[in-house]
Structure 1
Amino acid sequence: MSTESFSYTLEAFLALTEAPDGGFVLDIQGQQIAIDNVLRFLPGKRLVGKATIDGKTVLAKCFLGSSAERHIKRELAGLGSFVRAGIDTPAIIASEKLQNFGFITTEFLAESQSLDALWQSDLSDEKRVGLLKSVVETVAKLHQHNIIHKDPHLDNFLISEDKLFLIDGGGVHQESSPLSQQAALDNLAFFLSVLFPRHDHLSLKCIAAYQRIYPLEGLDEQSLAEAIWKKRKWRERYLEKVFRTCTDFVAESNFRHFQVVDRNEISEALTDFLATPDTYINTGQVLKRGTTNTVSIVTLNDGKKVFVKRYKSTKGVLHKYLRGIRKSRARNAWYVAHYLLRLLGIDTPKPLALLEHKFGCFVNCSYLVTEYVEADDAFHYFTQLQESSPEAEKRARSLLEMLRILKDGMVYHGDMKATNFMFSHDRHMVIDLDQTVILDSREKAAKYLRKDSERFSRNWVVGSVAAQLFK
């Protein structure tokens, strides 16, 4: 679609629930912005996209609604503070405030890559440490100028021609006096806590890079590691968005029904399934039909296979009532899966949809839909070994690293059968998360995590190859 083929007024654009496909024109109070490609869209609130204005390619950040003027002021103030701190950021080209609408345009870094995308590629530890040093140096410059950035995710950094750019001035707070030692340490730890725990040892190698610019008394590996751990636990509150409509999810709720779907996975076939899930489950490949849950591989109308767990009590009225007033097991598994994927970097089949049938607050049946993955489970793989091998040792190390991260993250799985750990090519996954608990105190965690460890050890016959690999 060419940018001239369709245009939106402010009223029409505010009514959109999904970003338009292809190019389009925003025609608002005589101001025309040709959007070539949408990079981010929050319905009724914000749009970020590659745009063309007066024949020039720019990055346009458009703010919608009654809070548009406030957000523009905050964004401009933040970007200005980056410049004063000597931090590279795309140059501001123009800004304009209209009623219920405003925009800021900055230079478009054509060959740029987000730090998040680069970080997820196959990089050596040496390259990762180099990138992290650039990040902590940027944070140190912010602190040197009494600036706290409150939205420290990797997508707020761009790499262009080997130079690190900081974007998104909206998350910036300028203090009127020098930062306290604790405030600076907490903010540095906040930036580093967005990395997965397996990279924490690299973060600790960047202390000297920070100290050269903004010396902090008492900053060492132990204090930074503790601060990172605390901030990672604090960031759990952000995961509540997995239950509401936002950039990543579409949720709907009423007296009889609650549903949330990964926005990128929405399809007519998945919608049809969610309308009548039992029909698909019963005609699918049923792997388990228990008194409280059913597990099935379902083929959707478009031919895509998904894995479905249905939780429904048939143990009697009392059990059904007690089960119904608690958080549903599907809801718990949905949350934990996102916790592992987003905060700890532990792989599990991608959760696609959560569905609850309910009566008010009483849930009588719940469903979890995840991607279907062809995989081998750890029990069958390791118990069949007659001797060790490089592949077996690599898989064992991977599984032990996963267990270490779960333990450090105070995640009590609750069912450490080896069949709940899966291998598929280079993916090492944990499954069956409906009883998993994320603990909030180290004292409580010690008892429960010891149970997990003991249960995992019972998977292996004493003296077997597997027992030796996991000793």
Structure 2
Amino acid sequence: MASPNLTTASALRAAGRHPQLPFRVALADGRQLTMRRLLRVMPGKRMVGDAALDGRRVLAKLFVGQRCERHWQEECAGLDALALAGLPTPERIAAGAMAGGGYALMTVYLDPAETLAESWARVSGRPPGEAEALAVLTPALTMLGRLHAAGLAHDDLHLGNFLHHDGSLFVIDGDAVRVVSRGQPLLSAQASSNLAVLLAQLPPDWDPLLTVLLPAYAVGTGQPLPEVAALKEQITSVRAWRLGDFLAKTVRECTLFAVEQSTTRFSAVLRRERDFLAPVLDAPDAAIGRGDVLKDGGTTTVARVVIDGRGLLIKRYNLKHLRHALGRLWRPSRGWHSWREAHRLLFLGIPTPTPLALIEERVGPLRRRAWLISEFCAASNLLTHLSADREPPADEARAILTLFGSLHGQRISHGDLKATNLLWDGSRVVLIDLDAVVQHRTAAAHARAWARDRARLLRNWPPGCALHCWLDEHLPAA
């Protein structure tokens, strides 16, 4: 078998997100590294992958940007700081310059391994405080406490940077590790600020459980618990920043989303779904034509489409006439709005079908029709699922109150709260039809919108019936 092509940092930089695999790079010490599989790519900057060095399997980080030495040095320094503090992190095997430019860092490849983000994905839908969910979170909090006790902070705190392997938890991503006070615990304000970054990754309905989570952190620090009220304020601030940053990413090229734009078309798609959705993205109307049309109105056409046994919902936002078209030219389409709001809800832990892709027809900067592609939720709506003459069953009651508690707490209004826009999937109430969803900046604006939402929801059932009365008693007051 022929050896993989030998390449350079400049060629890898030019290859962007898709260098040809496998490939070899020459190290300045005369050895060669073979990259077999890429795990993460920051185009033009760095790539991380499954590689081989001297016949040994390694995790390789290649720093290929034009001014990458500083990032390589920070990565090496972070791993050294973790090791010096006795904190588990993958062992460094080699680090140095690449021949012809760029730098490489190789560590032990931990296999099998699972990030806490992957573990969390299996339990994130469980009720806050549920034992299995706590079992995922508490080791990360204890480990963070150990970092802070050693005078270290981690500037990219998320569950993906904690790795389970062979019964142990490892900290990864050394370039985000910062030495604040080596050998001395962080000051309480510094520790609380860094802790808030990790806790802000959790859905807001976990916030009331801080007193349950914090003891695990204290086990690591050996210090008194942080002040809860101040920590909550920091979490809220971090979460707001993260939300804004995430929503901006949903419509630009990045690790999570693939975006294409021309003078006639804009599209954004979850990168992991791009290949699967390629035929639909190329011809969304043809896909609708092959599907089961659920609604074909003046402003929207909705169809259920099955591809390789997987159900999708395609919603096309139509233009009724010339006046309607002219009125929409300069504004983001309703598809664009629904795409962003669906991602907002999921970010905040509020159930809605996963949005997979957005397409907009354009004429330069002017918008025309749009298509939104989402997972299809095969569930009954509350109008048919619930009986008007009795209170909702316990599971449904709990899910209804959880949903509206979350929406109310985040100052989110729906704008068209028909019972047919609320689906029961067997464990949760799922919100659909997000064209008019708004997260309000002020309590007063939200109060007015919630009064309208509340009244619209109650109109789904006759006044005086058991379900109407139960909702009126238990929903947040108008």
Determine if the TM-score, normalized by the shorter chain, exceeds 0.5: yes
Other-structure match for 1:273: 280
Other-structure match for 1:252: 260
- Residue 211 (structure 2) pairs with residue 198 (structure 1): no
Other-structure match for 1:328: 333
Question: For the Cα contact (< 8 Å) 1:128–1:202, is it kept in 2?
Answer: no
Other-structure match for 1:91: 91
Give the distance between the partners of 1:182 and 1:48, measured in 2 at CA.
Answer: 34
Give the distance between the partners of 2:6 and 2:274, measured in 1 at CA.
Answer: 24
Counterpart residue identity of residue 142, structure 1: L
Give the drift of 1:19.
Answer: 5.0
Correspondence for 1:285 among 292, 306, 310: 292
Question: For the Cα contact (< 8 Å) 2:25–2:33, is it kept in 1?
Answer: yes
- Residue 414 (structure 2) pairs with residue 409 (structure 1): no
Give the distance between the partners of 2:391 and 2:211, measured in 1 at CA.
Answer: 34
Other-structure match for 2:144: 139
Give the drift of 1:136.
Answer: 2.7
Other-structure match for 2:67: 67
- Residue 235 (structure 2) pairs with residue 234 (structure 1): no
Give the distance between the partners of 2:116 and 2:310, measured in 1 at CA.
Answer: 32
Moved more, 358-367 or 277-286: 277-286
Give the drift of 1:193.
Answer: 0.8
Other-structure match for 2:25: 27
Counterpart residue identity of residue 408, structure 1: G
- TM-score (ref. length: structure 2): 0.85
Cα 1:255/1:140, change in 2 over 3 Å? same
Counterpart residue identity of residue 256, structure 1: T
Superposition map of 1:361-376 within 5 A: 361-376=365-380
Give the distance between the partners of 2:331 and 2:143, measured in 1 at CA.
Answer: 45
Other-structure match for 2:46: 46
Q: Secondary structure at the match of 1:402?
A: helix
Runs of 5+ consecutive residues of structure 2 not aligned to the other structure: none
Q: Secondary structure at the match of 1:266?
A: helix
Cα 1:290/1:128, change in 2 over 3 Å? closer
Give the distance between the partners of 2:470 and 2:41, measured in 1 at CA.
Answer: 48
Cα 1:46/1:423, change in 2 over 3 Å? farther
Counterpart residue identity of residue 200, structure 1: D
Other-structure match for 1:189: 196
Cα 1:147/1:410, change in 2 over 3 Å? farther
- Residue 178 (structure 2) pairs with residue 173 (structure 1): yes
- Residue 308 (structure 2) pairs with residue 307 (structure 1): no
Cα 1:188/1:25, change in 2 over 3 Å? same
Give the drift of 1:381.
Answer: 0.5
Give the drift of 1:431.
Answer: 0.9
- Residue 381 (structure 2) pairs with residue 377 (structure 1): yes
Other-structure match for 1:356: 360
Percent of matched pairs sharing the same residue: 33
Q: Secondary structure at the match of 1:134?
A: helix
Question: For the Cα contact (< 8 Å) 1:157–1:165, is it kept in 2?
Answer: yes
Counterpart residue identity of residue 260, structure 1: A
Give the distance between the partners of 1:330 and 1:429, measured in 2 at CA.
Answer: 19
Give the distance between the partners of 1:20 and 1:461, measured in 2 at CA.
Answer: 62
Counterpart residue identity of residue 413, structure 1: H
Cα 1:393/1:208, change in 2 over 3 Å? closer
Cα 1:32/1:439, change in 2 over 3 Å? farther
Q: Secondary structure at the match of 1:333?
A: helix
Give the drift of 1:424.
Answer: 3.1
- TM-score (ref. length: structure 1): 0.86
Counterpart residue identity of residue 63, structure 2: F
Cα 1:310/1:26, change in 2 over 3 Å? same
What is the alpha-carbon root mean square deviation over aligned residues? Answer: 3.1
Cα 1:358/1:211, change in 2 over 3 Å? same
Question: For the Cα contact (< 8 Å) 1:287–1:297, is it kept in 2?
Answer: yes
Cα 1:197/1:36, change in 2 over 3 Å? same
Give the drift of 1:147.
Answer: 3.3
Cα 1:183/1:324, change in 2 over 3 Å? farther
Q: Secondary structure at the match of 2:250?
A: helix
Correspondence for 1:345 among 343, 346, 349: 349
Runs of 5+ consecutive residues of structure 1 not aligned to the other structure: none
